[in-house]
Amino acid sequence: MMMNHSLKNQCKLNVGQVITGKWHHNQYTITKELGFGANGIVYLAQSKNQYVALKLSDNGMSITSEVNVLKSFAKVQGSTLGPSLLDVDDWVRGTGTISFYVMEYIHGLSFLEFVEQKGKSWMPVLVLQLLSDLEKLHSSGWVFGDLKPENLIVTGPPPKIRCIDVGGTTIQGRAIKEFTEFYDRGYWGLGSRKADPKYDLFAVAMIMINTSYPKRFNKTTGGINQLTQAINEKMELSKYKNFILSALLGHYTTAKEMRKQLLYIVGEDQSNSSRVTRAQFRTQTQTRTKTSSVSISRSNTYAANTPNHQNQAPQQRQLQKKKRKSKGILETVFIVFFVTLLYAFYVIEKL
């Protein structure tokens, strides 16, 4: 993007360059550039034989603002929201003072790279992890804001998702500080830019769509229709269709609720496949194509039930199960009764 050129030039550092803080006098040796955004450049640096990530910006305000967020995250007990903050300082150079902060270096692949390399089956796992992190973040009064695959790094082993770049992190109830259009509900005409938990949940749903459209897509007609069509065009999303749509339309009020529903879908998937194999055992004639069509139609009927009753769905199923069970007992009783009746007639006749 053209607009970052001036910024990039000002904060451009060479490999091997040493930065010394004005206040705390810590030294950092630049190793390589990790990335740059609208608000600064992040470098990998070495300090005291340890790798750290160092963010520089000519805009001291945004540095201070992000440091505030990271400090507030540190107060949330036992959390891994965002990278941990190590140092905040100014670097005095010939052309002026540049503010920077130093954080833990989170090493790994970005969300999309990871799913691409390790397989689509990781997608729900990572989304579940992300949702439980978001739950913590939301309950401490924040909204992440600029949630996108580039800001999600999978570290490990074992693979664990981490959020980096808190530039968009906003106090709930305020206007979102920074966002990326594709993941922004305002851009799609599906809500305001006021920071509430649903704003992040919308972005999570867009990330799921993003896994099937790695290059994203632009708004044409916008609205829920375009997004629904995008989901319909990808087979691998059909299982999550109603889940994604519910998040896009803001039907989930908390990350916890959304997580529960995703767990349910994943569980449903597992029990479906096991039930199908049992059925195969019994009949032994069903072909593979038939079973797959069975599982699809089942997930569809389940989906059709869900949109507004996410929480009721599991209970409904249990109820159905119970019904089926009691039906079976009723059948047995009836047959026993009928046979006894026949026998009774037989005995009476013989007499």
Partner 1 sequence: MNTGKIKQILLITDGCSNSGEDPIAMAALAKEQDITVNVIGVVDQDTIDEQGKREIEGIALSGGGVSQIVYATQLAHTVQMVTRKAMNQTLYGVVNRQLQQILGSSKSVEDLPPDKRGEVMEVVDDLSETVELEVLILVDSSASMKHKLPTVKDALLDLSLSLNARSGENKYSVLVFPGKQNDVEKLLDWTPKLEALTSIFPKLTTGGLTPTGPAIREALSSFKKKRSLRSLLGRDDESFFEESV
68 touches partner 1 by CB under 8 A = yes
Contacts within 8 Å (CB) and 24+ apart, 16-25? 19/45, 19/54, 19/91, 19/100, 20/91, 21/87, 21/89, 21/90, 21/91, 21/100, 22/89, 22/90, 22/91, 22/92, 22/97, 23/89, 23/90, 24/87, 24/89
- Give the sign of the dihedral formed by CA 140, CA 137, CA 204, CA 214: positive
Going by C-alpha positions, the residue among 144, 131, 146 that lies closest to residue 254 is 131
In the residue annotation, 87 being an active-site residue is answered as no
**Nearest CB to partner 1, comparing residues 198 and 239:** 198
Q: Which of 8, 17, 51, 60 binds partner 1 (CB under 8 A)?
A: 60
Ligand-binding site membership of 55 (annotated): yes
Site string (253-282) toward partner 1, x via CB under 8 A: ------------------------------
20 touches partner 1 by CB under 8 A = no
58 touches partner 1 by CB under 8 A = no
332 touches partner 1 by CB under 8 A = no
CB of 185 to partner 1, least distance (A): 10
Going by C-alpha positions, the residue among 189, 180, 194 that lies closest to residue 248 is 189
**Nearest CB to partner 1, comparing residues 97 and 297:** 97
61 touches partner 1 by CB under 8 A = yes
Going by C-alpha positions, the residue among 298, 276, 297, 274 that lies closest to residue 288 is 276
CB of 175 to partner 1, least distance (A): 4
Write out the residues near partner 1 by the rule CB under 8 A: 1-3, 23, 38, 59-61, 64-65, 67-68, 71, 88-90, 97, 99, 171, 173-178, 181, 186-187, 192-195
- Catalytic residues, which ones? 146
